[in-house]
Amino acid sequence: MTREGKIEMATATVPAIEENTGQSMLVNYLVSMARTVEGTINKAMEALLTRDERLASEVFMVEPRVNEMEIVIDEHAVRMLRGGAARTGGPAAGLAEADIRLVVATLRINTDLERMGDMAVNIGQRVLALAQTKNTEPPAELPAMCNAVRAMVAKTLGALIFQNVTLAQEVLESDDVVDQYRDRVFEALLAEMTGTPSRVPPNVQYVLASRYLERIADHSTNIAEDILFWVRGLDVRHGRDRAPSGAAGQPVPARIHEAPVTGISQRSDTAGTDPA
C-alpha cells in the first residue's frame, strides 16, 4: 500500500469537505496527521503523570508514522503548486489566492505538527528516565498544565477540521496560561532541589518535560496563526493584528463569528532535541 493510501484509510470524514479535489485531499491528509499527533501527545502526557513505561513505548512506535505523513503532505503540496504552474506557465499562477494560502499554511502546519510529535517523544524519554527512580511524584501543578495543553491541542484540531476562526483565536489566548504553569512548576521544582539534593535527578526530568509541554503549546499557537492566515488571510504572527483589505477596500474583521464546535476529540526549537 502506498503512503497516500495509508493516510487515506486513517482519515475520517471532515465536515465541509466533500469534493475529491486536490485541496480537500491536502486538508484531509493534514487533519489525519493532526489527529495522530494529538493522540500521541495525550499518551505522552498520561505516561508522564503515571510514569507508565508501556504508554511511553507506544509514543515511540507512532513517530515513524508521523514522519511519513509529513513527507506525504509536503509532496502533495508541491504537486498542487506544480499543477498550477503547468496550467498557466508561471509559478503557482493557476491557483486561486485561497488555494495558495492553503498550500503555504499547510507547509507551516505540517512542520509544527511533526515537531509536536517530536516533543511527545521527548516526553516519553523523560518517562523512561523517571521510571528508574523511586517514590517520585509529579509536581502539584503538572496535571493542570497537562490539561491546559490538552485543551489547546484539541481546540487547534477543531479549528483545523472546521476551519473555525473563533477556536483559532481561543488557542492564541490560551498560550499565556501554559507559560504561567511552566514558570510555577519550575519554581516549585527548583525550590525542592535546593532543599533536598536527592530530588535533583527526578526533578530535572520534570523540568525538561514541562519545557516540552510549553513547546507543544507554542506549536499549537503557530498552527492557530496559520489557520487564521489560511481561512481569513490574517497575518497575526509576532503579535500583529493586521487584516487584509476586502473587496470594497475595507479591512476584514479580525474576529469573525463561527458556528460553535462540540464533540472535538481529545515555529520553534530544533525538532527532536532537548532544549538547552
Domains of the chain, first to last: 20-239 (1.20.58.220)
Listed residue (187, 201, 16, 176) closest to 126, CA to CA = 201
Mean pLDDT of 74-100: 73
Provide the grid cell at 2: 502506498
Asked if residue 258 lies in contact with residue 166, where contact means CB atoms within 8 angstroms, the answer is yes
Share the mean pLDDT of the chain. 81
∠ CA(264), CA(270), CA(271), 5° rounding?
A: 45
* Rounded Cα gap, residues 76 and 85, in angstroms: 14
Percent of the chain with pLDDT over 90: 64
* Rounded Cα gap, residues 185 and 139, in angstroms: 6
Q: What is the pLDDT of residues 163-194, one digit of tens each?
A: 999 999 999 999 999 999 999 999 999 999 99
Pick the more confident residue, 260 or 97.
97
Residue 96: half-sphere exposure toward Cβ, Cα within 13 Å: 7
Asked if residue 227 lies in contact with residue 258, where contact means CB atoms within 8 angstroms, the answer is no
Phi, psi of 17, rounded to the nearest 5 degrees: -125, 100
Does residue 265 have a pLDDT over 80?
A: no
Phi, psi of 242, rounded to the nearest 5 degrees: -100, 130
Does residue 266 have a pLDDT over 50?
A: no
CA 198 to chain centre: 35
Phi, psi of 133, rounded to the nearest 5 degrees: -100, 165
Secondary structure element (H or E) that encloses residue 251, with its range: none
Q: What is the pLDDT of residues 99-155, one digit of tens each?
A: 899 999 999 999 999 999 999 999 999 999 999 988 788 999 999 999 999 999 999
3-state secondary structure of 245: strand
* Rounded Cα gap, residues 222 and 230, in angstroms: 12
pLDDT band at 251 (very low <50, low <70, confident <90, very high): very low
Listed residue (16, 15, 9) closest to 36, CA to CA = 9
Radius of gyration in angstroms for the set of CA atoms belonging to the chain, rounded to a whole number: 20
